[in-house]
Structure 1
Amino acid sequence: MEEIDLSAALEQFDRVLANIELLEKTWERFEPHIPDSISFGLDTDEIEQIRREFTDIVESMPAIDGDRLEAELPILDDISHMRLEYSEAGLEIEGFRNLQDYIQEPKKAIDDYKFRITKLRRRLVRNRIEQVVGEIDACLRNTLETSHGREFRENRPGWSFLSDALDELDRLRGQESLSDTRLGDFRRHIHFAESHDLRDIVEMDWPSVRDALVDQIFEGEPLFVAVADVGDLVRAEPTGAVTSRLAWSDLSATSFERLIFDILRSARSYENIEWLMEINAPDRGRDLSVDRVVVDDLTGTKHVHVLVQCRHWLSRSIGVRNLNTLLEEVGLWSKNFAVVIVVTSGRFTQNAVDWREQRELKGSFPAVEFWANSHLEHLLASRPAIRAQYFEGNE
Structure 2
Amino acid sequence: MELDELLTIFDKVAVNLKKLEQVWDRASPLLPEGPARGSTPEYQNLVRTWDALLPGLAQIDGWTITEELPDMDALGQMFLDYAEIQEPAHGAYAIRDKPGDDLGEYRFRLDQARRRAIAARLQELTEQITGLLRGITAVLPTKDEFFEQQGKRNKLDTLETQRVEDVLGEIERLLGDTVERKGRWGDLHRHLRFGEVNDWHDINESDWPSVSVDIEAAHFGETDPIPVPEVDLGVAGRARPAGGATTALNWSALDPDQFERLLFDILRSLDGYQNVDWLMKTNAADRGRDISLERVVQDAAGATRTERVIVQAKHYTSKSVGPGDVQDSLSRLSMWEPPVIRFLIIATSSRFTADAVRIVDQHNDLGKQPQIEMWPDNRMEVLLSQQPTLAITHGLRS
Name the counterpart of 2:14: 20
| Matching residue's letter, 1:97 | Y
The CA distance in 2 between the partners of 1:251 and 1:100, in whole Å, is 50
Kept after mapping to 1: 8 A contact 2:125/2:167: no
Q: Secondary structure at the match of 2:314?
A: strand
Q: Deviations over 1:245-281 (max 9, x none)?
A: 144178343755542342344453785435789xxxx
Q: Does the CA-based 8 Å contact 1:71-1:105 persist in structure 2?
A: no
Given candidates 84, 93, 115, the residue that maps to 2:77 is 84
Q: In structure 2, which of residues 242, 245, 267 is the aligned counterpart of residue 243 of structure 1?
A: 245
Distance 1:356 1:11, change over 3 A: farther
Q: Relative to structure 2, which stretch is displaced further, 263-272 or 358-367?
A: 358-367
Residue 70 (1) aligns with residue 64 (2) = yes
Q: How does 1:95-174 map to 2 (within 5 A)?
A: 95-117=91-113, 119-120=115-116, 123-124=119-120, 125-126=122-123, 128-129=125-126, 131-133=128-130, 135-136=132-133, 139-140=136-137, 143-146=141-144, 149=147, 158=156, 161=160, 164-166=163-165, 168-173=167-172, 174=176
Q: What is the root-mean-square deviation of aligned Cα atoms in Å?
A: 5.7
Aligned to 1:262: 265
CA contact (8 A) 1:145 1:151 kept: no
Distance 2:110 2:196 in 1: 42
Alignment gaps of 5+ in structure 1? 278-282
Query: 2:206 is matched by which residue type in structure 1?
Result: P
Higher mean displacement: 110-119 or 302-311 = 302-311
Instruction: For structure 2, list consecutive stretches of 5 or more residues without a partner in the other structure.
Output: 300-304, 337-342
TM-score with structure 2 setting the length: 0.61
TM-superposed CA distance for 1:202, in Å, is 4.7
How far residue 113 of structure 1 moved from its aligned partner, in angstroms, is: 2.0
The 8 Å contact of residues 191 and 202 in structure 2, kept in 1 or not, is answered as no
Q: Assess if the C-alpha contact under 8 Å between 2:293 and 2:309 holds in 1.
A: yes
CA distance in 2, matches of 1:269, 1:134: 29
Give the distance between the partners of 2:145 and 2:281, measured in 1 at CA. Answer: 28
What is the SS of the residue equivalent to 1:149? helix
- Partner SS state of residue 74, structure 1: coil
Contact 2:291–2:311 (CA under 8 A) maintained in structure 1: yes
Q: Deviations over 1:51-105 (max 9, x none)?
A: 36523x33x44x4xxx23321131655x543542442343574344122133434
**Structure 2: distance between partners of 1:21 and 1:334:** 50
In the aligned structure 1, how far is the partner of 2:222 from the partner of 2:18? 26
C-alpha separation in 2, matches of 1:391 and 1:187: 33
How many residues were matched structurally? 354
Paired residues of 2:247 and 2:381 also in contact (CA < 8 A): yes
Q: CA deviation at 1:170?
A: 4.6
Shift in Å at residue 132 of structure 1? 2.1
Aligned to 2:354: 354
Instruction: Give the conservation status (yes or no) of the 8 Å contact 1:286–1:307.
Output: no
- After superposition, the Cα gap between the structure-2 partners of 1:96 and 1:137, relative to the gap in structure 1 and judged at 3 Å, is farther
Q: Is the 8 A contact 2:137 2:204 kept in 1?
A: no
SS at match of 2:353: helix
1-structure distance, mates of 2:346, 2:118: 31
Alignment of 1:208-247 (within 5 A): 210-214=209-213, 217-218=216-217, 221=222, 243=245, 245-247=247-249
Please list the CA deviations of residues 7-39 of structure 1 after superposition, one character each: whole Å capped at 9, or x if unmatched.
x53652343132122233246457649865544
